[in-house]
């Protein structure tokens, strides 16, 4: 963000003569102003506590922090987000890890805004409804699929729409579509299926009649925004030919309020096991990830990757002018926790 050059007068400490700095391209109300006008006398003769100054800005509330809207008879939730600097990678583009975090955040805000989920319930889990809370149930991700046509850049404003649909007898599917707010261009599409798990026994659970009645008014009858992508039904092994891997240890910061490793953290685990040549010359454009088992903190993991061709393992060298596919497994003590497939497009050419 560029700072406008300004004429400088020699500031006199303790007087309002220090010039203001305004951000170029921002309205006056949004400009950042830095000056010493609040310092009425030299430090040597007195000091005011920061608590003595009263903000002149209106109260910051959830409503004016994030503009949200319901479309399609209230069944489609729309919000916007600004791509922050810490969400961007070395190429100035938003990373897949933070894309998935934004998708997850919109899911929670959708449930809260439509009244399906109440806030202030403590450690009840992500998006836990009243009927789920009574039965010690939480949502867990079963399968996530993300397709990126173009990653947004730092400081871009993204419009995000999401809605939920029925998906089988004991799960539901969430759809997302993200567009560039300025151009309207589609950037990202994603679908995710969620299942129920008992937070005490850690076993999967069925939809009860009361929960179905609770969620039915919010389901939209629509086709998935993406065609479902099947993952290769093959577990990778450490000593498999042409298989690359990295050893990892889960951290406390990877845990979420469901008391297991957050689903977005596995994206970084997958990338850690991806060959460096792929990371340097290709850009991740698709990921399909299936979550098989839970994982907790301080577990040793192995992130394995293997090139694919037409969904069949292929050991031929990668061709740099075409998309490539990789198959991934995340293992812990030989047990497969996650199985994934990624598609990569060349960065240049």
pLDDT 10s digits, 286-326: 999 999 999 999 999 999 999 987 444 444 445 556 899 99
Q: Output the pLDDT for position 47.
A: 53
User: Is 222 a domain residue?
Assistant: yes
- Beta partners for residue 282, in sequence order: 346
Same domain, residue pair 176 and 251: no
List alpha helices for the chain, DSSP H.
62-65, 96-113, 130-134, 209-215, 265-272, 276-281
Same domain, residue pair 219 and 240: no
User: Is 58 a domain residue?
Assistant: no
CA angle 277, 283, 289 (to 5 degrees): 100
Asked about 15 being catalytic, the answer comes back as no
Count of structural domains within the chain: 3
Same domain, residue pair 113 and 252: no
Confidence of residue 51 (pLDDT cuts 50, 70, 90): low
- Domain holding 344, by residue range, is 230-349
Closest CA to 80 of 152, 184, 179: 179
Instruction: From the candidates 258, 262, 263, 327, give the one annotated as an active-site residue.
Output: 258
pLDDT at residue 9 above 70? no
pLDDT digits (tens, 9 = 90+) for 162-221: 999 999 889 999 999 999 999 999 999 999 999 999 999 999 999 999 999 999 999 999
3-state secondary structure of 151: coil
Residues above pLDDT 90, as percent of the chain? 66
Same domain, residue pair 125 and 253: no
Q: Output the pLDDT for position 230.
A: 85
CATH code, 278 = 3.10.129.10
Same domain, residue pair 203 and 247: no
User: Is 52 a domain residue?
Assistant: no
Asked about 295 being catalytic, the answer comes back as yes
Same domain, residue pair 145 and 249: no
Spatial distance between the Cα atoms of 123 and 48, rounded to a whole number of angstroms: 40
What pTM does this model have? 0.79
pLDDT at residue 15 above 70? no
Q: Are 78 and 70 in contact (CB under 8 A)?
A: yes
Handedness of CA 226, 232, 237, 239 (dihedral sign): negative
Same domain, residue pair 75 and 222: yes
pLDDT digits (tens, 9 = 90+) for 238-254: 888 889 999 999 999 99
Q: Output the pLDDT for position 242.
A: 87
The set of residues, in sequence order, having a beta carbon less than 8 Å from that of 103 and lying 6+ positions away, is 146, 160, 162, 176, 190, 192
| Beta strands 186-198; 137-148: pairing state | antiparallel
Asked about 155 being catalytic, the answer comes back as no
- C-alpha torsion angle, residues 117, 103, 267, 326 (rounded to 10): 130
- C-alpha torsion angle, residues 115, 117, 119, 123 (rounded to 10): 180
Instruction: From the candidates 110, 142, 167, 260, give the one annotated as an active-site residue.
Output: 260
Q: Output the pLDDT for position 16.
A: 41
Give the chain's count of helices (H) and strands (E).
6, 13
Confidence of residue 258 (pLDDT cuts 50, 70, 90): confident
Same domain, residue pair 239 and 322: yes
Same domain, residue pair 166 and 298: no
Instruction: From the candidates 79, 165, 192, 295, give the one annotated as an active-site residue.
Output: 295
């Amino acid at each position: 963000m560029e700072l406008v050059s300004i004429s400088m007068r020699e500031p006199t400490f303790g007087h309002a003569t220090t010039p203001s700095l305004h951000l170029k391209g921002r309205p006056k109300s949004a400009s950042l102003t830095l000056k010493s006008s609040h310092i009425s006398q030299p430090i040597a003769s007195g000091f005011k506590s920061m608590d003595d100054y009263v903000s002149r800005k209106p109260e910051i509330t959830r409503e004016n922090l994030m503009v949200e809207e319901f479309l399609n008879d209230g069944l489609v939730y729309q919000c916007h987000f600004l791509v922050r600097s810490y969400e961007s990678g070395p190429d100035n583009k938003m990373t897949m890890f933070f894309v998935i975090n934004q998708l997850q955040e919109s899911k929670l805000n959708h449930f809260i805004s439509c009244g399906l989920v109440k806030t202030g319930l403590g450690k009840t889990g992500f998006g836990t409804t009243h009927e789920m809370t009574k039965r010690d149930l939480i949502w867990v991700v079963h399968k996530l699929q993300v397709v990126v046509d173009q990653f947004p850049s730092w400081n871009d404003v993204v419009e995000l729409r999401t809605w939920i649909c029925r998906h089988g007898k004991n799960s539901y599917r969430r759809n997302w579509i993200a567009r560039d707010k300025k151009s309207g261009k589609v950037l990202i599409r994603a679908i995710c299926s969620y299942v129920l798990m008992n937070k005490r026994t850690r076993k999967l659970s069925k939809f009860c009649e009361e929960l179905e009645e609770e969620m039915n008014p919010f389901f939209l009858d629509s086709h998935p925004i993406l065609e479902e992508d099947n993952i290769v039904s093959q577990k990778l092994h450490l000593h498999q030919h042409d298989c690359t891997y990295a050893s990892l240890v889960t951290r406390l910061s990877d845990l979420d309020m469901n008391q297991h490793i957050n689903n977005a953290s596995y994206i970084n685990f997958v990338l850690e096991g991806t060959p460096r040549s792929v990371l340097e010359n290709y850009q991740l454009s698709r990921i399909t990830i299936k979550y098989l088992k839970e994982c907790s903190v301080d577990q040793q993991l192995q992130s394995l990757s293997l090139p694919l061709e037409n969904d069949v393992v292929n050991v031929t060298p990668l061709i740099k002018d075409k998309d490539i596919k990789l198959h991934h497994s995340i293992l812990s003590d030989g047990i497969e926790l996650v199985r994934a497939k990624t598609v990569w497009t060349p960065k240049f050419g």
